[in-house]
Amino acid sequence: MELKAIRGFSDILPPATSRWRLLEECARKILEGYGFSEIRVPILEKAELFARSIGEETDIVEKEMYTFEDRNGDCITMRPEATASVVRAYIEHKLYAADPVVKLFSIGPMFRHERPQKGRHRQFHQINVEVFGISHSMIDAEVMAIVMDYLSLVGAGGCQLQINSLGCPRCRLPYKEGLWTFLNKHLSQLCEDCRRRMERNPLRVFDCKVPGCQEIITEAPLISDYLCPPCAEHFAAVRGYLETLEIAYEVNPRMVRGLDYYTKTAFEVVAGGLGAQNAVAAGGRYDHLVAALGGPDIPGIGFAIGMERLLLILPDKPFSPGPSLFIAALGEGPQREALGLSHKLNRARVRTMIDYEGRSLKAQMRRADKFGARYVLIIGEDEQRAGQAILRDMEEKKQEEIPLPSIFEEIVRRMGEGSP
Ligand SMILES: [Zn+2]
Ligand SMILES: [Zn+2]
């Protein structure tokens, strides 16, 4: 039997891994600048955590989670998203006691059993950001500014920010009633799933992909007409702060997000060229989630960036880790010299590779080319006897002889960290 990776689970191979690392490093740089700290939470959690946070009636919990019984008979889920786990950790370790404002980010894999397609994998990766303890609308605008800054830093500046307000329990209740009444009038045109969904959570109908249902939804009442005064004020303030920050946005009154815990602000960042799966990032406020999971009454807001989708819209060129050196050594003595020098240079953070097989100069130059070496140091037996080596600059296409005793300093000066 041929062994292959599981469908929907992908290997990330070099040189693509360098692009992943660049995305992660940029995220750390921006987020640490805004006062975020990294949190690492487990991949496995009790299934109950997601049912209680994301919501029983959502597609994720109903159909998409990897849930299984472990050897003790406990019901375990591979996390389908990070917010629930981060909130669980925030409560469990009483992070609110140390600081009323906590800003956290994490980067890692999530798991959903969906139909694999372009930009959608069963193991996918997210950059996840959460802010606890701020109810002021300024933070809503700021987290959206962070997403947009990040996207333009990594080269995805052309994305569009869409925002909506999902209200609070106070205004959502009459809205759900209004929506239910409307849907009930069109019951015969709704698919079976939607008829079942609307009894427990009519908002879910907005997520239905059946064309007949989508047609009806375009006529449905909108949450914006039901917002209570505090929710409407909050939404207006968020828009005002986005303008202060010069972040372009569009209000999308039909965006409801597929999770139950959102309140007030919800947003998505969409990119052209991704088709139906066009959201690169999404998030929102969750003012009651901490309390719903057994913690104190502390507001929160966060977002996740989908790394696979982001990579789809970025130019497909590997990230260069900087100049490198290849040492082409000819003969036993020079090979020993090359091994020692390469070790010393790598310790000095100069990327250096050598040949191990004692191949011809031509073959070694081909290796150097494949490695993308900026410089090649050639040490032959004659050169070694004369105390010399040849340093060839592959980009400038010129070479010079350098005395062996000063070769280490000479290379570090040209290629070490901090050199031009
Ligand atoms: Zn409200
Ligand atoms: Zn439907």
State pLDDT tens for residues 290-336. 999 999 999 999 999 999 999 999 987 766 667 789 999 999 999 99
pLDDT of 15 strictly over 80: yes
State pLDDT tens for residues 338-366. 999 999 999 988 899 999 988 999 999 99
- Number of the ligand closest to the Cα of 196: 2
Statement: the pTM of the whole predicted model exceeds 0.85: yes
How far apart CA 300 and CA 293 sit, in angstroms, is: 13
How far away, in angstroms, is 236 Cα from ligand 1 center?
13
Query: Averaging pLDDT over each range in 39-43, 117-121, 254-258, which range is the top one?
Result: 39-43
Q: What integer best gives the mean pLDDT of the chain?
A: 92
Per-residue DSSP letter, 63: I
Integer CA distances (angstroms), 370 to 241, 326, 360, 363, 374, in order: 50, 10, 16, 11, 11
State pLDDT tens for residues 162-171. 999 999 999 9
Could you tell me the sign of the dihedral formed by the alpha carbons of 45, 48, 51, 54, in that order?
negative
242-257 average pLDDT score: 92
How far away, in angstroms, is 379 Cα from ligand 2 center?
71
How far away, in angstroms, is 314 Cα from ligand 1 center?
38
- Number of the ligand closest to the Cα of 175: 1
How far away, in angstroms, is 223 Cα from ligand 1 center?
10
State pLDDT tens for residues 362-410. 999 999 998 889 999 999 999 999 999 999 999 999 999 999 999 999 9
Around ion ligand 1, residues with a beta carbon closer than 5 Å are 167-168, 170-171, 228, 231
Q: Which residue has the higher pLDDT, 337 or 261?
A: 337
Torsion of CA 304, 307, 309, 315, to 10 degrees: 130
| pLDDT, position 420 | 45
